[in-house]
Amino acid sequence: MAEICCGVVGAGETPTPTIEPNSRNSVRRSLDFLPLKYIADMAIPSENISRKRQKLDPSTKKGVVSSESSTNEKSTKNEVVLVANCSNVSEAENEVVVVEDCPKYGITSVCGRRREMEDSVSVHPSFCEEKSEQNQNPFHFFGVFDGHGCSHVATMCKQRLHEIVDDEITKNREKESVDWKSTMEKSFIRMDKEVLNSTKTKQSFTCKCELQTPHCDAVGSTAVVAVVTPEKIVVSNCGDSRAVLCRNGVAIPLSSDHKPDRPDELDRINSAGGRVIYWDGARVLGVLAMSRAIGDNYLKPYVISEPEVTVTERSDEDECLILASDGLWDVVENDTACRVVQMCLKAEKTVSPPGSPGSVVTGVGSDKACSDASILLTKLALARHSSDNVSVVVVDLRRDQRQQ
């Protein structure tokens, strides 16, 4: 992590003239420049990659899975695990090797103009597998959590939610297919209960709220989570973070922001006996600017942790998936974000003619392209004067046509 200080001048603005150090205006002006905590990451393939091969039985034509050169049973954030039953197929010596790469991705998270960083990002490639006699389909977990009140609920979600989802999927493993709506709803409710229990058991957190109000329950976090399988994109959203799919150049929102003045959310809050008060925008009881979140026990039952779940079939026209906190979406439209990512994905294929002066390859892989896209989106949000933390995950969903 590195801390950088920067001032952004928007389009059409003129630079501020130099102010004398001793003037009162200089003191007031200095408050506008706050440290930007900057984190960037991208998927980096490991040289020793876990592989699985599917051997072909000549008599039955059924595959038998065996492992080969597996170095780690579980992948870390920067490892790519290649698993059976995927798009790239080759046949040699009575063997069928079926492999699918983990989707490549890029992550950027900046503190922005806030004094504290309360966002968290969670990425777990191949965090679990749906196993059957012939298939081992890898599931990949991507999540963005935007904390409020403090950072510890977002941090807990980062550390635990993917494990809870894995456990819920495991419980349904005997079924032919996963009931994603039920699975994700149960996972979010379990996560919310863990947050509640952490305050009751006075679990220690290394954060500012421990110093101000020990074991405060007036802390929460949004959660937008995407589970990407070979066939589906499952998005679960609780709060005002957002997931957007770019398909054939069109931005398709896969989640809907939970704002207190959204008509159905407003009716739900009123039915529960709560009120939406307009105080610098619509807020539940005049306090919280979102109607769903994990945590925020003092606002229950008006603020709930139940997510809205969408299941989208993957298509060969899919280009990318963007998950981001409202620090981005408050100032950048869905279409604009998709165009930025498209530009980066196309740039990776641009190569100057060999031997030409200054010839360079502008991208060495879509992992770098996704990382560049996430960085550009955060810079765009800051240039448009976003006042919140900004966290962005870009996932490359492009794939070759499956062989028939």
**Segments making up each domain of the chain, as ranges:** 113-258+293-351+361-404
Measure the CA–CA gap between 153 and 156, rounded to whole angstroms. 5
C-alpha distances out from residue 229 to 123, 157, 291, Å:
14, 21, 29
Measure the CA–CA gap between 241 and 393, rounded to whole angstroms. 12
- Contact between 385 and 8 (Cβ < 8 Å): yes
Laid out side by side, the sheet with 51-56 consists of: 63-68, 51-56, 95-100, 83-92
Which of helix, strand or coil describes residue 358? coil
Which CATH superfamily, name and number, covers 113-258+293-351+361-404?
Answer: PPM-type phosphatase domain (3.60.40.10)
Place of tokens 């002066």: 357
Measure the CA–CA gap between 143 and 122, rounded to whole angstroms. 5
Name the phi and psi angles at 90, rounded to 5: -135, 150
Q: How many CA atoms lie within 13 A of 285 on its CB side?
A: 12
Verdict on whether the full-model pTM lies above 0.85: no
Measure the CA–CA gap between 289 and 259, rounded to whole angstroms. 7
Instruction: Report which of 39, 208, 41, 211 is spatially closest to residue 112, judged by C-alpha positions.
Output: 39
**How would you class 296 by CB atoms within 10 Å of its CB: exposed for 0-12, middle for 13-18, buried for 19 or more?**
buried
Name the phi and psi angles at 186, rounded to 5: -65, -40
C-alpha distances out from residue 321 to 91, 140, 142, 214, 235, Å:
32, 13, 10, 38, 10
Amino acid at 213: T
- Contact between 107 and 42 (Cβ < 8 Å): yes
Measure the CA–CA gap between 365 and 346, rounded to whole angstroms. 11
3-state helix, strand, coil in the chain (%, to 5): 25, 30, 45
**Any residues with CB less than 8 A from the CB of 204 and at least 6 apart, and which?**
210
149 Rama sector, left if φ>0, alpha if ψ -120 to 50, beta otherwise: left
Instruction: Report which of 71, 169, 84 is spatially closest to residue 133, judged by C-alpha positions.
Output: 84
> What is the Cα gyration radius of the chain?
23
The alpha carbon dihedral of 84, 85, 88, 93 has a sign of positive
| Residue-by-residue pLDDT tens, the chain, 404 positions | 443 334 333 444 444 444 444 444 443 433 343 444 455 555 544 433 333 333 334 333 333 333 333 333 333 333 322 222 333 433 333 334 344 567 899 999 999 989 899 999 999 998 876 554 445 678 999 999 999 999 999 999 999 999 999 999 988 766 567 899 999 999 999 999 999 888 665 565 566 665 555 557 789 999 999 999 999 999 999 999 999 999 999 999 999 999 999 999 999 999 999 999 999 899 999 999 999 999 999 999 999 999 999 999 999 999 999 999 999 999 999 999 999 999 999 987 654 444 433 323 333 345 899 999 999 999 999 999 999 999 999 999 997 534 33
Q: In this structure, what DSSP letter does residue 60 have?
A: T
Instruction: Report which of 67, 33, 63, 61 is spatially closest to residue 49, judged by C-alpha positions.
Output: 67
